[in-house]
Structures are given as C-alpha cells and as structure tokens.
Amino acid sequence: MLNTPRSCRGMVTSPHHLASQAGLDILKAGGTAIEAAVATAAALAVVYPHMTGIGGDAFWLTLWPDGRAQSIDASGAAAMKADVAFYRNAGQARIPWRGPLAANTVAGTVSGWDMALGWSHAVQPGLPLGRILRDAIHYAEQGVPVTAGAADITRAKVDELRAVPGFADQFMPAGRLPQVGDILHNPRLARTLRMLVDDGLDSFYRGRIASDLAADLASLGSPLALSDLQAHRAVHQPALHARVRGADLYNVAPPTQGVASLLILAVFDRLRAAKADSYEYMHTLVEATKLAFRYRDTHVGDPALMTVQAQDILDDAGALDRMAAVIDPQRAAPWPHPSQAGDTVWLGVVDSDGLAVSMIQSLYFEYGSGVVLPRTGVVWQNRGTSFGMDPDGWNGLRPGRKPFHTLNPAGARFDDGRTMVYGTMGGEGQPQTQAAVFTRYAYYGVPLQRAVTAPRWLLGRTWGEDSVSLKYEDRFDPELIARMQAAGHQMERMEPFTSTMGHAGALVRHEKTGLIEGATDPRSDGAVAAW
C-alpha cells in the first residue's frame, strides 16, 4: 500500500474499512467532519471492539477553517470509592489489569461525542442522531465479520480474559475462540445505541442508560457508582501548540502525553537530519523521544494536580535549545525508563469546508477490563489500572483523579495553507509514530501513504509487554541497524508490518486547490474513504 488516495469533497481514514465508510456516508449526506467522526467512532466501537468502545475514553482535536484549534478531553476520573484502602480490603497489592476491579474510571467517550456535536450544530443544522449512529446500530444488531487482527488478539489474551464477567459470552460464542470471518453480534449494544438516539447522548451519564450501567458495575464489584457517572462532564480546553519551521503543530493537553509528542518534534526541528531513515534521522528522533518521555513522566498527569503548565515548555525556546544540545549525535543515552502501555483507535476526517478532525478513542488494553456489562453490552475500559498505589506519587490513585493518558490526536497547519491531521494507536508508540509520519511527509517530501507504510520503530513497551528495547520492523537497511547498535541502542527486530507498531493514519487538505490526501495503515484493517 504505497499510493496516496486523493479527492476533493471529503475524506475519512480509520483502522477499519466499514467505519471509514460509515463516516463517508455522513459526509455524503451533508454532515460535517465532526458528525462524520462520531459516526466513524461509533462504528469502530462495534466493528473493532478489541480496540475501542463506548465504555472507554476519547480526546478530540478540531482544526477549524477560520484558524481555531480546539480540543475536547472526554476522559473519566476515578470512582470516589476507588482509593488504596478499597484495593487493600479486596486483597489487592496493585490494581488488577482485568476484571471488575480494573473498571474503576468513568467512560468519557460518549460525552465527547455530545460536546463535539454541539460544536457542529453551532455551525450548521445537524443530522439526526439516529442517522449518525445508523451504521453502528446495524453492525451491532446484524453482525460484523471478525477480522484477523481481532481473532489474533483474542487468541493471545484469552487466558487472562476468559473468566472476566461477560467476556466469553460476548466474544467466545458457543465457548470457542472466534475465527476470521465469523459473524459477531452484540444486540445488547445495539439496544443501548438505540436508547442513546431516543434519550440523547447525555443519558449515558444521567438517564436510563446510566442507571443500567451503574447497576451492572455495582453488582459485579466495580467501585464505580451512579454518582460518578452523573458527576462526569467532557472538558473543552485550548489545544497545545508548538512552532517548527514551516508549520504550527497542535496536540491535546494533559492528562494526555500530547506535550511529549510536540517536544519530540520541536527538539528534532533543531537537529534535522539531512535524509529520512538515515542513522542521523532515526538516532535523533529516538534520543528526542527519551528527553520528551523524561519530561512527561516528571510533570504530566491530572492537570488539576500538576505544578507546571504543559504549554510553558513548548513556548520556551531556550529550554528546547538546551534539550536539543543534550543529544549526543554518536551515542545513545541510557535507557530503559518506566514506560506505558495501551491500545486505541485513531481516526481523521476532513470535509469540503476545510474542517479537520483528529480524534482518538480507547479502552486502554485490548478489550479494556474485559468486563461486558449484561444490560448494555458495553465493554468497560481499564484506564485506571495505570494508577500507582501511592496516592501522593506521580499518577497515584486518588478518588476523582484523572489517570495519565497515552492518547493524543495530532494536527498541523503549514505556512503554505495545508492542514494535516494524523495519529495512531499504540501506547508509548503514539508520539514516536506521529514523529515518523509527520517528519517523513513534512520535512522530506515522502508521499503521505508511503510515510505511513514505511517501517517504524518503537522505544519502550506497548500492548502490555515488559520489553523496553528499541524495537524495529525488519524492513530497515541492515547498515542503519548496525550503526544504531554501534551507537549503544538495544535493538530488537520485529516482523514486518507488525501491529505492535500501531495503526496510523493521516489526512492533508491543500487550501489553494481543495485537494485532500489520505493514508491508512496496512498494519490495520483500515481504509481511506473519499469522494
């Protein structure tokens, strides 16, 4: 997959082709990029349930044609009952990764849809919610074919998920592992989506659906209560911004790692390599990643408890210069460093008016907590498992606290009028893949699809693995790999086109002509849908 799709009227990219088509249908019906993004996200919650769902969190970055850059934090906080004593009394020394005790934070995704659609309706009359959720409802009710990726992940994680309440009933029909091409149904989720249409999206938090969710969570042993759902609101916040040569970059503020993504690019911008995928290119980006992650893990968490403002470091040219000066062009800095895991989906939409959406939606680990709520068919996230058990520590568990998030949708505006949205799933890999895709395209003129398809690397762990080596796909020049090893990087070879490297995508709109270019990741089940 090397040729870049192009169109002029609108474009959607996501990691599942049916979801991309659902979004495109909304554009064809006259909907905005925001409405198409909600349709795509809702479809993904059904057709890609191992990666995302309405029981998870989301973040939005919206680049408006008038120059505004707005973001939405649709992430949930820890339950008010979720404290260290709660887990100690349950016999837990740490928060479990799976099961009802892992379902300890509010799912914010639907609140983000609600806020974003409000923005859209302020621009033009909105399509009916039933139209926007139509495809998601259809796939939940009538079924969707199981993908190879979903089958592989289920097989790999079945031992830790099989006994989780509701998992086997939903994802292992007749007690067997799903096979590629099996038709997976979730009629309870279809009913829930229909209730959202009838009662409004806010009913997820303050209506019939909220009552059903809370009753199920309580009966299974989760610390979440109806009052936690009722207290939740999505938050509108200014987008983070960084200036590099030729472009303004945007990302989402804490509790996400968006500042790390921008720091990598701001530091690299000061040390640009002469050629893409050279030793200088890869080494510099990896070393910039180490610096950005150290800053992130020192300062980034729940913004209500942070002692610094993330934007400050991005505005401090001297500090960025000093970070760049630390990088030794010949030697790798010491590593490892504590790392984060996670899985998610990224999607992008651009409409004919130039409105561009970069949106990311997640359950955290594959299938999140694994819990499938019996009344609603909702898979609940396990984002709160990232909390530490020291309430005073970095990202320590406290009632009502938001956990640190790896999620961060990205965007850019170029001086020549181009608008770009891009992103990926993959925990620690998100800032690194963003950096690879953006720099290849923006600095070295690599066509957009080639920039996404090209081999990638990953410093740290992802998908719940413990390895913190510098992983690389086995498609790089062997001489490059040998030089990286000689510089002190601990290299670990991965198979080509491995999902470990994330599911990336990107869209670019050219202001002068209206041309839209798109890319999707051959490592996923995705597609670019355009007209």
Angle at 518 between CA 516 and CA 524, to 5 degrees: 160
Asked if 471 and 458 count as a contact pair (C-beta separation under 8 A), the reply is yes
Q: What is the CATH number of domain 237-342+406-521?
A: 1.10.246.130
* 424 among known catalytic residues: no
Tokens of 270: 């000061």
Residue 25's contacts (CB-CB under 8 Å, 6 or more residues apart) are 39, 135
- The pLDDT averaged over each successive group of 10 residues in the chain (531 residues) is 92 97 98 98 96 96 96 97 96 96 98 98 95 98 94 94 97 92 97 98 98 98 98 95 97 92 97 95 97 88 82 96 96 72 81 97 95 98 94 90 91 98 86 96 97 94 64 94 96 91 94 96 94 97
How far apart CA 531 and CA 529 sit, in angstroms, is 7
State which amino acid sits at residue 339.
S
Q: What is the pLDDT of residue 308?
A: 86
How far apart CA 278 and CA 260 sit, in angstroms, is 23
Q: What is the pLDDT of residue 83?
A: 96
Could you count the other beta carbons within 10 Å of the beta carbon of residue 274? 8
Interaxial angle between packed helices 134-142 and 187-199, expressed in degrees from 0 to 180 and rounded to the nearest 10: 150
How far apart CA 186 and CA 173 sit, in angstroms, is 11
The DSSP-derived string for 182-243 is PEE--HHHHHHHHHHHHH-TTHHHHSHHHHHHHHHHHHHT-S--HHHHHH---EEEEPEEEE
End-to-end CA distance of the chain: 19
Please pick, among 344, 385, 462, 520, the residue that the annotation labels catalytic. 344
